[in-house]
Structure formats: C-alpha cells, structure tokens
Amino acid sequence: MSRQDGTEMKLKSNADRRRVLIGLSAGAAVPVLAACGTSPAQAKDFPFQLSEAEWRRRLTKDEFYILREAGTERSFTSPLNDEKRDGTYHCAGCDNLIYSSETKYESGTGWPAFYRAEPNAVGTSVDYKLGFPRTEVHCADCGGHLGHIFGDGPPPTGKRHCINGIAMDFKPA
C-alpha cells in the first residue's frame, strides 16, 4: 500500500489496513496506526518491549487491561486520585518517570489529573474508541496506554492529562 507521500507500507493484517484507511479518510497526511480502540503499544516499536506472555507475567490482570489493551478503570476507584504527598508517578509497566506531584491537581473527574507530563515521558496518538477523535496518552518507553489528554485543564498548559491510576506507581519523595 502506498502512503500519500509515495512511500510503500507493509501491513501485517486486515486490522492494520482498516486503521490506515481510517487515518487516510480523516485527511491524515500519514496514516493513523493507533485508532478505533487499539493501543499504541500494539502499533509501534518502543524502547522497552516484551512479548504478550511476558507482559501478562509482569503485570496484574487490571494493569494488563489498562496498559496493553487501552482499557479504562472506573472513576473514583484509584487510591492515586486522592494521593497528596510529594513524589513522582511512574509507568506501572516499565517504571518510566511520567508525572510529578508538582503538576497534579484535583480535576473532579475521578481520575488522577496532571497539567503536564515530564519531558519526553509520554507520547500521544488519536483514539476513535468512542467514535470521535480523542488524544490518547501513552508511555514513551513501553507504549502502555495511560489515559487521555483534554483541553480543559488549568494554567499554565490548559491541558488535563486524565490518567488511569492503575497505569502508574507512586514513589513518595
């Protein structure tokens, strides 16, 4: 299959082809490979990689669902939502430092919220799981799904990183 820039792409499955077509039909210059409920962890190579079996051994059932299958925990269920101590938040999959308590705030949504990630700690992709585009945020090291970013956060960024608590481990200062 040729991309709009003329280069060739080798697609592994019909699901990959569907994701490319979704991206192209949305007017993307480069096909969107993480759409319609898939996780970026399934669509790209990341510095920290394990096989599915290794991820299943490493993570709890809930962590696997959130991080590797782009799941969402129920709101107001994470103890990290109420965490007020100084410290850092790390990816539960690979221990990558992703957020600082300095950027955490109470959003009232029932999930831990941050207005900024640590430098180079996260990546984003487009998620169409609910039928409309949302900005999915994932760990830059392992690709694990963390949550979503919305434009209704506080200054200075105006962003709300709405993050599944199960996707993180808190380390007190």
Q: Are 68 and 41 in contact (CB under 8 A)?
A: yes
DSSP 8-state assignment for residue 118? P
Distance in angstroms (rounded) separating the CA atoms of residues 126 and 81: 25
Shortest CA distance to 117 belongs to which of 92, 132, 138? 138
Shortest CA distance to 134 belongs to which of 124, 144, 142? 124
Catalytic: 162?
A: yes
Distance in angstroms (rounded) separating the CA atoms of residues 56 and 63: 9
Q: Dihedral of CA 45/28/129/72: which sign?
A: positive
* Residues annotated catalytic, as ranges: 162
